[in-house]
Chain A
Amino acid sequence: MKQGKLKQILLITDGCSNQGEDPILVANYIQEQGITVNVIGVLDQGQTQSDSLSEVEAIATAGGGVCQLVYPQALSQTVQAVTRQAMTQTLQGVVNQELQQILGKDQTIEELPPEQRGEVIEVVEELTETSDLHLLVLVDTSASMQKKLITVKEALIDLSISMNSRVGDNQFAIYNFPGKKKPTSKVLDWSSKLNKLEAVFPKLTSGGMTPTGPALKEALYSFSQTGLLRSLRRNVEPEEADFGF
C-alpha cells in the first residue's frame, strides 16, 4: 500500500510579526493547500504565557496545526511532541472525513463507542508511523532570539533523531527570517538528515524586523518548488483512497 505524505511547516518564534502580510491570512491560505502550520512560541525566562504571544495561537489555529508555548529548556521535547501531535491530528481529520462519508455527518472518532474507537486509533497510529513527512522549519532569528538559537539548533537535531526512528521517510528543510536583505533565507535545502545543521546554522540577524507573514509565504513557495504541491494536487484522489478503509 502506498503511504500518504504529510506536509507541515513548523514556525519557531518569540514574538509578534511587524512587517509584510498578515501571517494569519497566509497561514489560512497554506492550510487550504493541504499543509499544516504548527507554531512554537519560545518564552523568555519569567515571562508569563499570556503575554504578547496571542498571534502565535492565531497562526496555528488558522494553519490547522498545533501551538505550544515553552521555555527554552523544554524546546527539544516540545518540537518532537508538536510535530507528532500535528501528524496524528491531520490523519485523524482524514479518518474523520472518511467516517462521515460512510456513517453520516455527525459521526466522528469521538462519537464512536470506545471499542471501535480503539481500532480506528490503531489505524491512525499506524499511519502516523509509516507516512512520509515533509517538514519545513521556519526559525525566527531576529535580535530577541539571540540567547535561544543554540537551543533551537539542538532541538532540531533532536527532532531528526525522533523522526528518523520512524518507519516512514522524512524530508526536512530549514529557513530563517529575517534573511540578509530578504525577508527569508534558506539554511538547509530539502534533505533527510539534519546532522549537517551543526555547521550551517545561522548566526543572528541584526535588526528588529520580524516578517512572519512573508516568511510563511516563502515557505509555501518552497513546497511548490520541490514539486510537492504539484504532486499533492495530482495525487489527491489516490492518496485519499489510501487513507480509507
Chain B
Amino acid sequence: MLSQKKLTSAFNLPIGSQIIGKWDRQRYTITRLLGKGAVGAVYLVKRDDGHLIALKISDQIASISSEINVLKKLTKVQGTSPGPSLFDVDDWISPTGENYPFYTMEYVKGERLDQFIQRRGMDWISLLFAQLLSELAKLHQAGFVLGDLKLENLIVTSDPIRLRFIDVGGVTLFGRSVKEYTEFYDRGYWQCGDRKAEPKYDLFSLAMVAIHCTYPKQFNKTDQPKQQLLAKLRQAKSLNRYQLFLERALLGRYKGCLEMKRDLEKHYLSRMSKNQKVILPSNHDQQTSWLEISIFSIISLITWLLAYLN
C-alpha cells in the first residue's frame, strides 16, 4: 500500500527519464509503466545494452528487500522457476534526495490469462494449470508457497505457450503467515481456512483464478461464504468440466500440486480421446507392452519347441 504522503516521483516517472543505480552506476531509461502494486511500481526499462527489462521500485525497504531475497532463493530452485529471473539490485537517489531501493528482472511478455482463455477457449485451462502446477510443486518442494496467486499476476507467454507468474511479493516459507494476499483469492477471506503458508493455500487461489475467469467482475461475499463459493462454481457452465477438481482445491482435499495435476491431465487426455479419437499415450504404452510380452512368449515357445523336437 503506498501511503498517501508519498505519491512521489518514483511512482510517476515520466517516459524517457533515467534511473541510475547508486552502487553499480548502471543506467535504465523508462519506457513505460507496467503497473503499480502493493509494494511499489514496475516499469518497462531499457538497459544501456539495449535490452528491455522490468524494473521494480519502492519506498518500502523491508518489503522490496524481502522480495529480492525470495527471487534469489527461487533461482536456486531446480529447473524453470515460475517467477521472473532477477538481474540487478540497487538504489536510486531521487532528485529530492530520497533513497528508493529497486531491482531489475526479466520482462515476461505475453497476455493475461483471462484474455488468452477468451480467445482460445476453456480447454486450455487444464493444460496451462497442469504446467503451472508442476512448477508450483517445485516451489513447494523448496519449502515456499506462492501466496499472492491471482489473475493479475499470471501471464501466458506465446513462445512457448506457458503460464508464468510475475509477482513474488507473496512468496512465504511454509508454516509462516502468508505475506501478501488478495481477498478474492484468499481462503481466509472466504472462511475456508487460515493464512498459514502450506501447499493447499496456493491450490485454493488457483481454483479462484478459474472462477475469476468466468466471473470477470467477481462477486461480493455473503453470510455463508463457503456455500456461496461452491454454488458459484456450480452455476458457472463453462467450468462444468473442471467442477470436481476446482471443488476439491477449494475444500483443501488435494494434498499437493501433483495430485491435482494428475487429475487435470487425466481429464485432459480423456477429452482428447473422446473428441479426436486420439489413443491415450498411457494406454498405448500398455498395448505395446502387451504385444511385446505376447510376441516374446510366442518366440520363446517356438524356440523351446524347436529345441525339444530336436
Contacts and interface: CB of A to CB of B under 8 A. Distances in A.
Given A114-B23, A165-B195, A49 B4 contact: yes
Interface stretch (B66-74, B117-125, B152-160): B66-74
Interface string B59-87: 01110011011001000000000000000
A88 B177 CA distance: 14
A69 interface: yes
Given A118-B72, A125-B62, A78 B175 contact: no
B283 interface: no
Interface in A77-96: 77-78, 81, 85, 88, 92
A122 B65 CA distance: 8
B62 A68 contact: no
A109 B195 CA distance: 29
B270 to A, nearest CB: 38
B62 A124 contact: yes
Nearest to B176: A129
Contact of B61 (A121, A122, A164): A121
B183 to A, nearest CB: 6
A167 interface: yes
A118 B65 contact: yes
B65 to A, nearest CB: 4
Contacts of B61: 92, 109-110, 117, 121
A166 interface: yes
Contact of B69 (A88, A113, A121): A121
A97 to B, nearest CB: 16
Contact of B194 (A78, A88, A125, A164): A164
B65 A161 contact: no
Contacts of A67: 3
Measured as residues with beta carbon below 8 angstroms from the partner, the interface class of chain B is 20 to 34
A165 B178 contact: yes
B101 interface: yes
Contacts of A161: 188, 194-195
A117 to B, nearest CB: 6
A162 B188 contact: yes
Contacts of B175: 167
A76 B183 contact: yes
A94 B90 CA distance: 24
A218 interface: no
Interface string B174-188: 011110000100001
A76 B220 CA distance: 14
B196 interface: yes
Contacts of B107: none
A92 to B, nearest CB: 6
B177 A162 contact: yes
B3 A165 contact: no
Contacts of A167: 175-177
Contacts of B135: none
Contacts of B68: 114, 118
A85 B68 CA distance: 18
A158 interface: yes
B202 interface: no
Contacts of A121: 61-62, 65-66, 69
Interface string A61-80: 00000111100000011100
B99 interface: yes
Contacts of A92: 61-62
Contacts of B167: none
17 contacts: A68-B1, A68-B3, A76-B189, A81-B38, A85-B60, A92-B61, A92-B62, A110-B61, A110-B99, A114-B90, A114-B91, A118-B89, A121-B62, A121-B66, A122-B66, A158-B189, A163-B177
Interface of B: 1, 3-5, 23, 38, 60-62, 65-66, 68-69, 72, 89-91, 99, 101, 175-178, 183, 188-189, 194-196
